[in-house]
Amino acid sequence: VEDEAHIIELARLYFEREGFRVSAVGDGEAALEAARRENPALLVLDVMLPKLDGFEVCKRVRAKSDVPIIMLTARDDDLDKIIGLELGADDYLTKPFNPRELVARVKAILRRSERAAPRADNAALHLNDVTIDPAAREVLVRGKRVTLRTKEFDLLLTLAENKGLVLTREKLLELVWGFDYVGQTRTIDVHVAHVRKALAGSQVTIET
């Protein structure tokens, strides 16, 4: 999110060379809209923007989503604000910045959030009377196999791996459908309903 076209183009060049897909918008309101619509893996957000400034955008996005945010700032007092206001930004860079440095920061943050995602080993999970076996992609409810579609299984596994934690719809989309998914959080509701049905009669519940 940046209103200076040459900065966008420079960043785009470096990101695309590394295989990232870049979607650029030039003001704060468009940023909020794009954050909602495109479910991005990460936001790079300039402070000085038309309509809504980067602080406000950061605050509003953060109220709804835990998408990583890197803020760009040209002034020291902006930096003080980013830190002081605890806006929830994950990192910041001061302008003028080296685009390589920006790409490196983005990669570091994405690596961090991937580590927070589902574990790599394939051991079966036992939750009360439900067994989830990632290797066989099989779910047993009180010893009986239930049928789940691919994403329903992934959703259940993700929830089970994060048992007891609150996951936003956006976070679930990110973890289960992946960063590239373009769609609506309503998808989550539909899949949760199916998984709940499959778990009916077990001691495991998905709480909203």
Residues that bind Ca ion in the complex, under the rule CB under 5 A: 3, 46, 48
Q: How far is the CB of 105 from Ca ion (least distance, A)?
A: 18
What pairing do the DSSP bridges indicate for beta strands 43-46 and 69-73? parallel
H-type alpha helices, the chain: 5-17, 28-38, 54-64, 76-84, 99-115, 150-161, 169-172, 186-199
**Please, which residue, 73 or 113, has the CB nearer to Ca ion?**
73
Residue nearest to Ca ion (CB): 48
Q: How far is the CB of 108 from Ca ion (least distance, A)?
A: 23
Smallest CA-to-CA distance from 40 within 15, 10, 73, 3 is with: 15
Q: How far is the CB of 126 from Ca ion (least distance, A)?
A: 52
Burial class (CB in 10 A: 0-12, 13-18, 19+), 95: middle
**Please, which residue, 81 or 191, has the CB nearer to Ca ion?**
81
Q: How far is the CB of 43 from Ca ion (least distance, A)?
A: 14
What the block records as the tokens of 50 is: 């038309």
**Please, which residue, 82 or 173, has the CB nearer to Ca ion?**
82
**Please, which residue, 46 or 90, has the CB nearer to Ca ion?**
46
- How many H helices and E strands in the chain? 8, 7
Q: How far is the CB of 191 from Ca ion (least distance, A)?
A: 39
The neighbouring-strand residues paired with 91 are 70
d(CA 42, CA 22): 10
**Please, which residue, 48 or 167, has the CB nearer to Ca ion?**
48
